[in-house]
A and B are shown apart, each in its own frame.
Chain A
Amino acid sequence: MIIWSIAKTTVGDALRKKVLQIFLVVAIGLIIISLSFSQTLSFSSRAGSSTDIMLVKSFGLGLMAVAAWLISLVMGVSLIPQEIERRTIYTILAKPVKRYEFIVGKYLGAVLTLAINVAIMGVVFIAVCVFKAMGAEQPVTPEETGLPLVGMQQVGLFDWNMVWGVIMIFLQFTVLTSVVLLFSVFLTPTVNFFMGLGVYIVGVMAPLTETLSSKESQLHPVLKVFYRVIHIIVPNFDKFNVTNTLLHPETHIESMAKYTGIVTLYALFYSLLLMLLAVIIFRKKEV
């Protein structure tokens, strides 16, 4: 109950933050504008339908990721320091609130805020995708409708893979939020922002750190060990980066549901792990 109260307060605080509102509005605006980008394409060899749709999807997923990335970083870095700065933490901890409840409540609030933002963007994005697909045609005779004429047919309107895409974005940034939450226990917001950014970039480049630490790598053994440690410790954000797979499901996916399930567990365990470390540190911290 206490955790839920803290979470609700965190959500309320976060949603009132102008900077987060701006990220959300700008992202939604750009997602809608991407519709007109794609309409400028006219030299495509297939009347543009497949490239146009792909453009809308890739822009939308990319913009949502950027917005969610900024929201989780900006929101996450101030989660704990803000309470300390405003001295509200003293009031909270003076009440029968355990420190772990405070941390968990804060994290839960941050994740809920992220979920609300990603959900709003996701709904707009999927609506834009459906709008783009309306009237888009392809030169295929569909199995389902059985139209015998050679010619153009309406493409499928709803692509479930985009829903997976939105979920992946949310999962990815719940992990980043837990990273910045951990850092916010002992770092200032500015340092935390750059640390979080660094961890994210290294995490996205997981295939690179893996290659550098592999047996085939020509690097010095010490460096290999260094990259191996980096690869193991830093959350593998690349696991959530499946845009190409989602844009071309026919070429990649065997079971997106299975993969999403595993990655959800990964995000959950990793977030719990970092939250736990944050709790351990926060318990030792003199506040």
Chain B
Amino acid sequence: MPEGNSRPLWILVVVLIVAVAWTQYVADPIQYKMQEKARPKAGGGELMVQLPGQFIVASVAGFKEVIAGALWVRADTFFHAGQYEAIIPIVRLVTWLDPHNVDVYSTGAWHLDYNFVDTNQMSDKRYIPAAVALLKEGIQHNPDIWDLYFELGWTHYNKKILDYEKAVEYIEKACTKDGVDPNTGQRVPRPEYVDRMLAHMYEKVGRFEDAIRQWHRARKRVEETIARERKKKKGGYVDTTSLDVCDRNLGLLYLRMAWRYGDMDAYKKGLEIYKRLASRKDAPAQLVEATRGAEADYTLRVATNNPPRDALKPLDAGFEVTWKKVAPKVFIIKGKVNLVPASEYKDLASECFTHWYRDNQNAPPEQRKLWRDGCRIRWILRDYDYKMPELKTFSYKIDKSQTIAWDSVYVSGGTFSDRIDLSQDPDFYPFKADKYKLTIMFVPQQAECPDYVQDRIGWKGEALRDKRYLDTKTQPGFHLLRKEMVLTKDDVL
């Protein structure tokens, strides 16, 4: 049987409706703020339609992250099956479903940068703009952590874009951010190597004062960490390796500034650091000997007012390059470059520290080296009007009519030679343009120019001279070696 009067219940219904409306009103702004941050800011919408139906239903029904996870597991399967083409659309979808999964951005960009390789294991450079755009999108969604700034800086620095100024810009930003614990999401300090990388990069672009300041900053961070650890361990063992790494690098920077450009004040500072390192009980004998040698050299130079200027003594590069087509799309690049005869090290100031020339002379004749190898010469072959596109939004659809390839050749005994075979991968190198540009160059600041070569030619290649191919315009303040050739279609095919 039905029960009595319902009026009080209806009044309660109205009260509860008001209460629901109130909680909704209070919760909405917080929810919108959170959801706004979780929403993808760019791309992906067009790809959503490619999702199988059940995925679409699941993702709109509140299981987006599950779908993202499932897709990422699938991407791993594709990776191991070598189906690289299939991975990038998944990267797009996963970052769209979960724009805060930093790992997917960095893995996706790495994949675009390195894994689309031709028969000769050369990566498809047409994907680099996509990698950059993906990382920039990741930064847009995750601007408060160091990770993707560092990735972007590294992409500009190492092997790929080779724009060191831009690399510095991104690593500088990385050095203003901290990281997060991947499990708890709690803030944790960025790794120390990020700070050290910035110091190295400042060196590469010739910003020595900035590099010195950065080494001090990096060292200070390490000092603070060690102090905390000592306090916590109350006299227990504390590893100070990172401190030594900072000291050795800063000391070497000072010494090199002295040896290369004659900065005696820097020589003194560098020596002070190395004397401190060498005075330790556990200092390696080699370090002690190197420091003693540098100290003697410094004393002599001060006494004779003879600052070293190794990088300011001209070195004729004698750069020669020949190019030959041996078959359609197959070329041989050959050449000579005076980098670097062993004799050039005889009177270098850095010798007092490295003793390379002395040790080489003392070696048995059959082991004695006439050249100090290690440089690489870069070649770039591209459509005449090719300019690396700057994508505003991430898209992995590349222009497959373009041809762009580059790599580097090892210099051994002052000569280099490379056979470039672009005939086996027509998808990578379609050669559809009428004209092409072949550039063969040596850039002293590139990661492939060893420190000992820079000891002779300077960070910026100041010592380099060449009658025909010296280039001082492309990068003001730097001396590059550069030969550029225009090729016709007939030259190539």
Residues of A within 8 Å of B182, CB to CB, are 49-50, 53-54, 136, 138, 155
Q: B300 contacts the other chain (Cβ, under 8 Å)? A: no
Q: B69 contacts A59, CB within 8 Å?
A: yes
CA distance A208 to B56 in the complex (A): 14
Kindly list chain A residues whose C-beta atoms are within 8 Å of the C-beta of B6: 280, 283-284
Question: Of A244, A254, A279, which is in contact with the most chain B CB atoms at under 10 Å from its CB?
Answer: A244
Q: A139-B191, A245-B34 known; A266 and B3 CB under 8 Å?
A: no
Q: Is A158 an interface residue (CB 8 A)?
A: yes
Quick check: is A221 within 8 A (CB to CB) of the other chain?
A: no
- Closest CB in chain A relative to B379 CB, distance in Å: 28
Q: Which residues of A sit under 8 angstroms from B192, Cβ to Cβ?
A: 141, 148, 150
Asked whether any CB of chain B lies closer than 8 Å to the CB of A22, the reply is no
Contact (Cβ within 8 A) A156 B65? no
Q: Contact mask A250-287 → B, CB, 8 Å, 1/0?
A: 11111000110011011001101100110110011110
Q: Which residues of A contact B239 (CB under 8 A)?
A: 147-149
Distance in angstroms between the alpha carbons of A54 and B188 in the assembled complex: 18
Contact B9 A244 (CB under 8 A): no
CB distance from A154 to the nearest CB of B (A): 10
Interface pair B238/A50, CB less than 8 Å apart? no
- Binary contact track B98-111/A, C-beta < 8 Å → 1, others 0: 10111110110011
Among B80, B100, B184, the residue within 8 A (CB) of A159 is: B184
Q: Which of A38-46, A113-121, A188-196 contacts B (4 or more CB under 8 A)?
A: A38-46
For residue A237, which residue of chain B has the nearest CB?
B62
A277 and B31 form a contact (CB under 8 A): no
**Please, how many angstroms separate the alpha-carbon atoms of A266 and B20 in the complex?**
6
Q: Which residues of B contact A244 (CB under 8 A)?
A: 38, 64-65, 98, 100
Contact A280 B13 (CB under 8 A): yes
Contact string against A for B residues 336-361, beta-carbon threshold 8 Å, 1 for contact and 0 otherwise? 00000000000000000000000000
Q: How many residues of A contact B (CB 8 A)?
A: 89
Chain A minimum-CB-distance residue to B228: A146
Among the stretches A8-16, A75-83, A199-207, A212-220, the one at the interface with B is A199-207
With A138-B181, A160-B184, A252-B37 as contacts: A45 and B145 at CB distance below 8 Å = no
Measured in the bound complex, the distance between the Cα atoms of B144 and A248 in whole Å is 12
A83 to B227, CA, bound (A): 70
Choice from B10, B37, B226 contacting A148 with Cβ under 8 Å: B226
A241 to B24 CA separation, bound complex (whole angstroms)? 14
Q: A243 to chain B: which residues have CB within 8 Å?
A: 62, 64-65
Chain B residues, CB < 8 A from A236: 24
Residue A247 CB within 8 A of the other chain: yes
Q: Say yes or no for B66: interface residue by CB 8 A criterion.
A: yes
Binds A, one of B71-79, B264-272, B280-288, B381-389: B71-79
Residues in B whose Cβ lies below 8 Å from that of A37? 69, 73
Interchain nearest-CB distance for A286 vs B (Å): 7
> Of B240-248, B309-317, B392-400, B415-423, which stretch is located at the interface?
B240-248
Inter-chain CA distance A285–B1, complex, in Å, is: 8
Residue of A nearest to B65 (CB): A58
Q: Which A58-73 residues sit within 8 Å CB-CB of chain B? A: 58-59, 61-63, 65-66
Min Cβ gap B106→A in Å is 5
Give the residue of B17, B76, B243 whose beta carbon is less than 8 angstroms from that of A273. B17
Closest to B16 in A: A273
Residue numbers in B under 8 Å from A270 (CB-CB):
20
Interface size on B, residues (CB 8 A): 82
Q: Using Cβ atoms and an 8 Å threshold, which residues of chain B touch A41?
A: 72-73, 76
Interface of B: prevailing SS: helix
Taking the complex as formed, is A157 at the interface, i.e. its CB lies under 8 A from any CB of chain B? Answer: yes
Complex formed: what's the CA distance from A139 to B222 in Å?
15
CB contacts (< 8 Å) of A50 on chain B: these are 101-103, 182
- State whether B189 touches A155 (Cβ < 8 A): no
Q: Which of A51, A66, A238, A283 contacts B3 (CB 8 A)?
A: A283
Q: Which of A55, A237, A266 contacts B69 (CB 8 A)?
A: A55
How far is it, in angstroms, between the C-alpha of A149 and the C-alpha of B229 when the chains are bound?
11
CA–CA, A62 to B66, complex, Å? 6
Q: Chain B residues near A55: list those with CB within 8 A.
A: 69, 72-73
Residues of B within 8 A of A284 (CB): 2, 6
Return chain B residues, CB-CB under 8 Å to A237.
62
CB-CB contacts below 8 Å: B151-187 with A: 179-187
* Whole-angstrom CA separation of A38 from B141 in the bound complex: 24
A29 interface residue (CB < 8 Å to B): no
Q: Does residue A145 face the partner (Cβ distance < 8 Å to B)? A: yes
Q: Which residue of B lies closest to A142 (CB)?
A: B188
Which residue of B2, B77, B100, B238 is within 8 Å of A251 (Cβ)? Answer: B100
Contact assessment for B183 and A262 in the assembled complex, using a CB-CB cutoff below 8 Å: no
Residue of A nearest to B238 (CB): A148
Give the residues in chain B near A49, CB-CB below 8 Å. 182
Per-position 1/0 for A15-43, Cβ under 8 A of B: 00000000000000000000001101111
- A208 neighbours in B (Cβ, 8 Å): 60
Whether the pair B34, A276 counts as a contact (CB closer than 8 A) is no
Task: Tell yes or no: A127 within 8 A of B by CB.
Answer: no
| With known contacts A59-B69, A155-B181, A279-B9, A272–B16 Cβ distance under 8 A | yes
Partner of A258, one of B30, B37, B75: B30
Q: Which residues of B contact A123 (CB under 8 A)?
A: none
Q: Does A242 reach chain B (CB closer than 8 Å)?
A: yes
By beta carbon, the residue of chain B nearest A43 is: B79
B474 to chain A, nearest CB (A): 32
Kindly report which residue of chain A lies nearest to residue B32, judged by CB atoms: A207
A229 CB, nearest partner CB in chain B, Å: 14
A97 to B482, CA, bound (A): 96
Query: Given A50-B182, A286-B2 in contact, is the A277-B13 Cβ separation under 8 Å?
Result: yes
Report the minimal beta-carbon distance from B335 to chain A, rounded to whole angstroms: 36
* Chain A nearest Cβ from B96, distance in angstroms: 12
Distance A98 CA – B2 CA, assembled complex (angstroms)? 10
Given known contacts A41-B73, A142-B189, A159 and B183 CB-to-CB distance under 8 angstroms: yes
Q: Determine the residue in chain A with the shortest Cβ distance to B240.
A: A148
Q: What are 18 A-B pairs with beta-carbon distances under 8 A?
A: A40-B73, A58-B66, A141-B192, A145-B229, A147-B229, A148-B229, A149-B241, A155-B184, A158-B184, A159-B184, A250-B186, A253-B34, A259-B31, A262-B27, A269-B20, A273-B13, A284-B2, A286-B2
Binding site for A on B (CB under 8 A): 1-4, 6, 9-10, 12-13, 16-17, 19-20, 23-24, 26-27, 30-31, 33-35, 37-38, 60-66, 68-70, 72-73, 75-77, 79-80, 98, 100-104, 106-107, 110-111, 141-142, 144-145, 179-193, 222, 225-226, 228-229, 232, 238-243
B-contacting residues of A (Cβ < 8 Å)? Answer: 37-38, 40-46, 48-51, 53-55, 58-59, 61-63, 65-66, 98-100, 129, 133, 136, 138-143, 145-150, 155-161, 200-201, 204-205, 207-208, 236-239, 241-245, 247-254, 258-259, 262-263, 265-266, 269-270, 272-273, 276-277, 279-280, 283-286
Name 13 extra pairs, CB < 8 A, besides A205-B60, A251-B141.
Answer: A43-B111, A51-B107, A54-B98, A55-B73, A140-B189, A140-B191, A143-B188, A145-B229, A150-B242, A155-B184, A161-B185, A207-B35, A243-B62
